[in-house]
Amino acid sequence: MADYGVPDETVDMDVTPDLALTWMCELDNACRPPDQAIVERMAWDMQMGFWSAPMPRHGIKIDQDLRLVDGLRRLMAICQAQVTVKMRVERVTLLDHQ
């Protein structure tokens, strides 16, 4: 694992509320501003178990410079719901997300 619990390569992993909070606080954020209504709906869905297996198709993307490039709302929802969600955490290059 690299800094802040970020994996060195793309993996499917459990994202806990503590890990989600660390990533939101410690990683540079290149995501669009979150819509709180969407975050609240995701959190409710997570609490109801709708984000359990099969794994959600949208995960978290973090680039080689430890910038969060996709997944801010999902991390916020995990924190709000206080649940652990298994999801794909992808390491991407700048060219992957331009």
Name the residue ranges covered by the structural domains of the chain. Answer: 3-97
pLDDT at residue 96, rounded to an integer: 56
Q: Which two tokens stand for residue 53?
A: 């297996």
DSSP H helix total and E strand total for the chain: 3, 5
Structure token digits, residue 71: 């997944």
Tokens of 88: 């794909």
Half-sphere exposure of 76 (CA within 13 A, CB side): 18
Flag whether pLDDT at 30 surpasses 90: no
Identify the CATH class of 3-97.
Answer: alpha beta
- The rounded distance, in Å, linking the Cα atoms of 69 and 45 is 23
Question: How confident is the model at residue 1, as a pLDDT?
Answer: 47
